Amino acid sequence: MATVELTMENFEQTITDNGFVIVDFWAPWCGPCKGFAPVYEELSEKYPDIVFAKVNTEEQQQLGAMFNIRSIPTLMIFRDQIILFSEAGALQSSMLEDVISQASALDMDKVREEVATKQQDQESSTTETKVGKVPPGPQS
């Protein structure tokens, strides 16, 4: 399967409609991006059940900003709409295959459980922080 070009218009639907998506944030002027492109294309053919997508950060600056992309290439792996991996830098083929293997092996029920727990902890922490910042009321 060839890589899919992602834009603001199709990004969300691509992530939502596919269980496993790898996104390469890149730019045409980026040397490491150009060097990584053949590796990425080759693996897209090897793993037809995974969507390999690309975001041209020059043309899709809003997507780059949404994901706080500061360095390219940056790879992100989504499974069931959850980001499992995000790393800047071009990976060698064997390294990317290892990351794919690890992401494939994850128990997504456990991952969803961990995400829910972290969100609850963050919400509790935020609430405690807000409560802690409230000045004491007038003394009677």
Residue 124 confidence (pLDDT): 78
Q: Which of 21, 30, 76, 96 is catalytic?
A: 30
Q: Which of 33, 43, 51, 75 is catalytic?
A: 33
Mean pLDDT of the 23-44 span:
95
Residue 96 appears among annotated catalytic residues: no
Q: Which two tokens stand for residue 123?
A: 């919400």
The CATH architecture assigned to 4-130 reads: 3-Layer(aba) Sandwich (3.40)
Apex CA 111: angle with CA 107 and CA 112, to 5°? 120
Q: For 45-75, what is each residue's pLDDT tens digit? A: 999 999 999 999 999 999 999 999 999 999 9
pLDDT exceeds 80 at position 129: no
DSSP structure string for 3-16: -EE--TTTHHHHHH
Is 132 a residue whose pLDDT tops 60? no
The residue ranges of every structural domain in the chain are: 4-130
Q: Is there a catalytic annotation at residue 101? A: no
